[in-house]
């Protein structure tokens, strides 16, 4: 296994996704550098974000069509809920589910239609989180600057070479981790695996602030030349706006910049989560809103629309700045897309969309060997049986209620009344029958 694979995230699900995204970012970084001479991970983040959301655009359009159709069929779903009210018995629930499915079939949509994009976006987001935490593990030219080539060979005189050949470097590196509170990487400098040790050194060095690089010369002798060679590159590729370390969290940057009275850095670090919050609000404003204030789904959507920007604000404080930049850029890209998608959706004929959806569903069923008549007959029989059972339960309950009323009326009969005399005769007959 090559050295570059050792620092990459090894997860069985997110690991392969992170590797693919890292490979794409590596290609983007190299292309930008060779075309412009600019070394910038931030530019790579912006480009990969635009690329991802361009690929997701067909899903975005599909989701918006689903939202439009959902608004149109919402009155029918609301009427169905009113029809069954608060009944929770099994038969009523089954009947309601069956009728709900028929409404979705009528409009040619799936209840899961709004979840597809989220199911794709979330793994991408978490995988990118892993890539931004370990950029040198995914962008080979950046790892080369530290002195470890993709084949695992250590370049003589590089920072990794000088550090690894210093007696007791393990304790010194552990002290650096403690002094600079580097908690976002897991390292073990006691390992005997040379390749792993080299990668741990790079992981720690990559997280160092500028002040940490300046103090490396006090930790290691003869490292000044190697540090002087790499720091100009780090200041280019690893710093957004030339000030913000994209591998560190805004929260850490705010604390260190406040302590060091670096007010411009503090403002820029604060700007990332604030922009994430603002751009998320912009997205919500542009998204089609469900109608009907009394609808439970609309209330849930309103709550989610309130919480999502706040969650963006919080997460962009505690995750790497690179991920915050991705969050902001992705929200801006979505906002631009949403503006044009809204214009496109406004001009669509919903009835035509319904017909096309129904035709697609019909063709899928035909491939499975299911005819429309079979589905219609099965649905009618099933619904009739369910509704019949539901009605039987209602009738039984009504009968019991009437019997209770009759019993109460009998016990409350006045003395001397016809009902009272009838009760006495009935009791006399019952006693004689027992004898």
pLDDT at residue 150 tops 80: no
Average pLDDT, integer, range 290-294: 51
Calpha distance 104→238 (Å, rounded): 50
317-353: pLDDT as tens digits = 988 898 899 999 999 998 998 888 888 877 777 777 7
pLDDT at residue 32 tops 90: yes
344-357: pLDDT as tens digits = 877 777 777 777 77
Calpha distance 387→389 (Å, rounded): 5
Non-local CB neighbours of 324 within 8 Å, separated by 6+ positions: 250, 272, 273, 276, 316
Give the total residue count for the chain: 435
DSSP-derived 3-state class of residue 141: helix
* Least confidently predicted of 60-64, 206-210, 297-301, 341-345: 297-301
Calpha distance 190→385 (Å, rounded): 70
User: What percent of the chain clears pLDDT 70, i.e. is strictly above it?
Assistant: 76
pLDDT at residue 429 tops 50: yes
Helix (H) or strand (E) holding 35: helix 14-36
Calpha distance 268→114 (Å, rounded): 35
Q: Measured between alpha carbons, how far is residue 3 from residues 6, 138, 151, 153, 188 in Å?
A: 5, 11, 7, 8, 16
164-197: pLDDT as tens digits = 988 899 999 999 988 888 877 788 888 888 888 8
pLDDT at residue 104 tops 50: yes
| pLDDT at position 196 | 86
Calpha distance 244→97 (Å, rounded): 53
Q: 343 burial class (0-12, 13-18, 19+ CB within 10 angstroms)?
A: exposed
Angle at 252 between CA 140 and CA 133, to 5 degrees: 25
pTM above 0.95, yes or no: no
Helix (H) or strand (E) holding 7: none
Asked if residue 73 lies in contact with residue 103, where contact means CB atoms within 8 angstroms, the answer is yes
Residue spans of the domains in the chain: they are 252-346, 372-434
- Phi, psi values for residue 414, rounded to 5°: -75, 145
Average pLDDT, integer, range 388-410: 51
* Least confidently predicted of 72-76, 113-117, 416-420: 416-420
pLDDT at residue 371 tops 70: no
191-222: pLDDT as tens digits = 888 888 888 899 889 888 888 888 888 888 88
Average pLDDT, integer, range 352-364: 73
């Amino acid at each position: 296994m090559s050295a570059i694979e050792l620092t990459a995230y090894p997860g069985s699900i997110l690991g392969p996704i992170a590797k693919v995204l890292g490979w794409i970012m590596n290609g983007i970084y190299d292309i930008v550098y060779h075309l412009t001479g600019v070394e910038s991970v931030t530019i790579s983040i912006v480009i990969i974000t635009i690329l991802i959301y361009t690929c997701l655009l067909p899903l975005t359009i599909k989701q918006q069509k689903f939202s439009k159709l959902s608004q149109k069929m919402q009155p029918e779903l609301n009427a169905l809920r009113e029809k069954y009210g608060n009944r929770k018995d099994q038969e009523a629930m089954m009947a309601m589910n069956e009728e709900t499915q028929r409404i979705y079939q009528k409009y040619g949509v799936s209840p899961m239609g709004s979840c597809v994009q989220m199911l794709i976006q979330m793994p991408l987001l978490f995988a990118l989180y892993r890539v931004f935490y370990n950029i040198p593990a995914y962008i080979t030219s950046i790892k080369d600057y530290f002195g470890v080539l993709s084949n695992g060979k250590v370049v003589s005189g590089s920072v990794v070479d000088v550090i690894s050949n210093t007696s007791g470097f393990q304790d010194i590196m552990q002290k650096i981790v403690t002094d600079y509170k580097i908690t976002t990487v897991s390292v073990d400098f006691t390992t005997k695996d040379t390749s792993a040790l080299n990668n741990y050194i790079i992981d720690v060095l990559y997280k160092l602030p500028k002040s940490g690089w300046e103090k490396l010369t006090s930790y290691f002798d003869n490292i000044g030349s190697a540090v002087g060679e790499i720091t100009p590159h780090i200041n280019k590729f690893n710093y957004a706006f030339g000030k913000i370390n994209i591998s560190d969290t805004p929260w850490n940057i705010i604390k260190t910049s406040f302590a060091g009275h670096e007010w411009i850095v503090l403002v820029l670090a604060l700007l990332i989560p604030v922009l994430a919050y603002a751009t998320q609000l912009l997205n919500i404003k542009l998204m089609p809103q469900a109608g009907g204030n009394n609808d439970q789904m609309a209330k849930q959507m309103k709550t989610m629309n309130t919480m999502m920007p706040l969650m963006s604000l919080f997460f962009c404080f505690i995750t790497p700045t690179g991920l915050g930049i991705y969050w902001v850029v992705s929200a801006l890209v979505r906002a631009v897309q949403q503006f044009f998608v809204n214009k496109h959706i406004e001009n669509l004929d919903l009835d035509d969309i319904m017909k096309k959806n129904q035709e697609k569903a019909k063709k899928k069923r035909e491939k499975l060997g299911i005819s429309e008549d079979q589905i219609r007959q099965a649905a009618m029989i099933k619904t009739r049986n369910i509704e019949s059972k539901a009605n039987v339960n209602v009738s039984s309950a009504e009968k019991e209620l009437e019997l209770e009323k009759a019993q109460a009326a009998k016990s409350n009969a006045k003395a001397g009344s016809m009902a009272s005399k009838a009760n006495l005769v009935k009791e006399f007959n019952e006693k004689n029958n027992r004898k």
